[in-house]
């Protein structure tokens, strides 16, 4: 599983990169379906922190985004949304 992290109007520090990688590691249990993850971190209106992700799975793409007051909260919410989407996708395939 390949994880790409890009910053838009924000510098992606080692701490942010490590945090995103640790949160996306929770998706490793669904690694059979996930081919790659592209995460974009950005700041809007100098107060809102946005994290968006495109997950390439077998035969499909899943998208999620989260806007919060801090970047870490935004990444947490993004990881939760992605996990819910991937579980739902896995359930569709197994039925």
Q: Using alpha carbons only, give the angle 5, 26, 54 rounded to the nearest 5 degrees.
A: 40
Res 63: pLDDT? 97
- Res. 53 pLDDT band, cuts 50 70 90: very high
CATH number at residue 68: 3.30.160.100
- For the chain, the domain total comes to 1
pTM of the model: 0.90
Q: Rounded CA gap, 76 and 35, in Å?
A: 21
Report the SS3 class of residue 79. helix
pLDDT at 93: 83
The range of the structural domain enclosing residue 24 comes to: 2-94
pLDDT at 28 over 80: no
Q: In this structure, are residues 30 and 1 in contact, taking their beta carbons and an 8 Å threshold? A: no
CA distance linking residue 59 with residue 42, whole number of Å: 28
Neighbour-count burial for 47-73, b at 16+ CB within 10 Å, e otherwise: eebbbbbebbbeeeebebebbbeebbe
């Amino acid at each position: 599983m390949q994880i790409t992290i890009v910053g838009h109007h924000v510098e992606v520090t080692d701490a942010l990169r490590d945090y995103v990688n640790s949160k996306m590691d929770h998706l490793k249990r669904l690694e059979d379906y996930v081919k790659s993850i592209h995460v974009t971190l950005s700041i809007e209106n100098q107060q809102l922190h946005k994290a968006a992700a495109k997950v390439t799975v077998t035969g499909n793409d899943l998208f999620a985004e989260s806007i919060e007051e801090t970047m870490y909260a935004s990444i947490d919410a993004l990881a939760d949304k992605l996990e819910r989407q991937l579980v739902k996708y896995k359930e569709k395939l197994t039925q």
